[in-house]
Amino acid sequence: MTDSAASPHDLSQEASDLRIATFRLARRMRTQRAVDSMSDGQFGVLAVLFLHGPHTLTQLADRERVSAPAMTRTVNCLQDAGYITRGADESDGRKVVIDLTASGRAVVDETARRRDAWVEEALAELEPGERETLAKAAEIMGRMVNR
């Protein structure tokens, strides 16, 4: 068998190894956050609003793949904490649009800064060839996610 033709068992093991390593890395990075008491789901909503702008409750629930009642609870907590606001949609006053406050933006900025710093520190401990390999892997993983 050539190097380019992996057996189904080898491919299965590679998939499992990649899944486990990716999960462990993501879990470790999630510990680097600006607000320790904030759940991953709550931060996810802030990140969506930061990256993609205001959303309705239904849009947020669909994007995060949760039920509308679950998203309502998340949004209520974030609003109570002062991280988001609800306002009328300019084009349709019946709709409620959810957006970040300055405090919400600050949480996303600080969390991203902390996570980037943690990754940078970890990368600094690697050999240049290992960092090059991870840079290539990041590009490939991006393609996998966007397929």
Which tens digits make up the pLDDT trace of 7-63? Answer: 777 899 999 999 999 999 999 999 999 999 999 999 999 999 999 999 999 999 999
**% of the chain exceeding 70 in pLDDT:** 96
What confidence score (pLDDT) does residue 4 get?
59
Predicted TM-score of the model (pTM): 0.82
Q: Which fold has domain 9-145?
A: Arc Repressor Mutant, subunit A (1.10.10)
The CA distance from 108 to 23, in Å, is 21
Instruction: Write down the domain spans for the chain.
Output: 9-145
Q: Which long-range contacts (CB under 8 A, 24 or more apart) does 96-99 make?
A: 96/56, 96/57, 97/54, 97/55, 97/56, 98/49, 98/54, 98/55, 98/56, 98/57, 98/60, 99/49, 99/53, 99/54
Q: State both tokens at 36.
A: 């320790």
93 or 32, which is more confident? 32
pLDDT at 89 over 90: no
Q: Give me the numbers of helices (H) and strands (E) for the chain, helices first please.
A: 6, 3
